Amino acid sequence: MNELLLLLLATAFVNNFVLAQFLGLCPFVGTSGRFDTATSMGLATAFVLTFAALLSYAVYHSVLLPLDLAYLRIIAFIVIIAATVQATEMLLRSISPILHTAMGLYLPLITSNCAVLALALLAVDAQLSLLQTVVYALGASLGFSIVLALFAAARERTEQADAPAAFAGVPLALVTAGIMSLAFMGFKGMGT
Amino acid sequence: MIIGIATSVGVLALLALTAGGLLAWLNHRWPRNTSAEIDAVDALLPQTQCAQCGYPGCRPYAQALVNDAAPITLCPPGGEALVQQLSEHLGRSADEALADAPARIALIDEARCIGCLLCIQACPVDAIVGARGYMHTVLVDECTGCELCLPPCPVDCIDLLAAAVSSKP
């Protein structure tokens, strides 16, 4: 139990996917312009991350390993992730069309979010058990959502700031991301 | 060797087929929530109910837009700004030019106006001002050229003119 909690916190903060492992940077920069879009994007990505990791685990251990096809895992995981994203989009379109239009193009782009594929690959490479995979995926989702929400909140404020023309907009956002990454380095050495 | 290739191809094909079948079923299970989508599009339209788009009102036009049955350029009161909004909202190209009819506004021939108030009641955007017994006039900035004031006028004193220069942003 303690180990699982440690894994959760370590994945969410110490080895944060975005700020420590630099995965999934495109949605991190692309959808963090507004706080509410960022939070819904974080939730959608968390949903996809968890489900895709679970399905990947199932397919890897029940189909690929017994047939000695582990080398197919990248292609197989991509198919699984694409299907999960498509299903998420259908669900969202049915439940909340307004959120669906608000997230627009970024929703299908979760498919190409490298954090999703990395999570599935890292989980099978580290030979985690099913329970550990779930916790690992939840930790990654938590870390991604929190960081995205924090970054969006910071960006909404720097947007209003009286920055020098050369820094206004994207440069300031990237500097902010760098400082956040430095701050997350502070978690290094906790647990792991 | 051959067996290895066959199993790998077979497993991938099976995986893709399963995923495709599952998605088809989910698509059936979670249909598009069109009424909420129509509400969202309807909220963008100007609600003049002028029927210049060829549909009986704004909501039927919104319905046609959501079903991809109508171009996004049919609404003269909404003008260029609405085309932009609809193009962003529906993810459709705004390249199609606005229907070729130029923007028009109503003009009341003040000599003939008898001050009957009928056109004021008909105007969906409150662009006509006046009082009973006094001549009426059209607010150029507000008029959308929807022609709804023409039929009620008992003395036919309203004409539609090409708007000189659009004063709208």
Domain total of chain A:
1
Substitution target in A101, A103, A107 with the highest count of B β-carbons within 10 Å is A101
The Cβ of residue B62 has, within 10 Å, a number of other Cβ atoms equal to 22
Residue A122, domain member (yes or no): yes
Residue A191, domain member (yes or no): no
Residue A31, domain member (yes or no): yes
The Cβ of residue A33 has, within 10 Å, a number of other Cβ atoms equal to 13
Kindly state the average pLDDT of the residues A1-22: 85
Ordered per-residue pLDDT tens for chain B, 169 residues: 888 889 889 989 999 999 999 999 988 888 877 788 888 888 889 888 888 888 888 999 998 888 888 888 888 788 778 888 888 777 777 665 555 556 678 888 888 888 888 888 888 888 888 888 888 888 888 888 888 888 888 988 888 887 655 444 4
C-alpha to C-alpha distances, A114 to A81, A129, B25, B37, nearest whole angstrom: 11, 22, 27, 31
**pLDDT at A101 (0 to 100):** 72
CB A14 within 8 A of CB A20: yes
List, for residues A120-132, the tens digit of each pLDDT value: 999 888 888 889 9
Residue A8, domain member (yes or no): no
Q: Which domain holds residue A27?
A: 20-185
| Residues 17-36 (B) with a CB less than 8 A from some CB of A | 19-20, 22-23, 26-27, 30-33, 36
Residue A157, domain member (yes or no): yes
Architecture category of domain B34-90 in CATH: Orthogonal Bundle (1.10)
Residue A154, domain member (yes or no): yes
Q: Minimal Cα–Cα distance from A77 to chain B, Å?
A: 10
Residue A176, domain member (yes or no): yes
Hey, where are the domains in chain B?
A: 1-31, 34-90, 102-169
**Cβ of B15 and A94 within 8 Å?**
no
**pLDDT at B169 (0 to 100):** 43
Substitution target in A56, A98, A105, A109 with the highest count of B β-carbons within 10 Å is A98
Nearest CB neighbour to A90, from listed B12, B16, B30? B30
Q: Is B1 on the interface with A (CB under 8 A)?
A: no
Q: Nearest-CA neighbor of A48 among A150, A117, A99, A124?
A: A117
pTM attached to this predicted model: 0.68
List, for residues B56-65, the tens digit of each pLDDT value: 889 999 988 8
Residue A104, domain member (yes or no): yes
Q: Which residues in chain A have their CB less than 8 angstroms from residue B6's CB?
A: none
List, for residues A116-163, the tens digit of each pLDDT value: 999 999 988 888 888 999 999 999 999 999 999 999 999 988 888 888
What is the fold, at CATH topology level, of the domain defined by B102-169? Alpha-Beta Plaits (3.30.70)
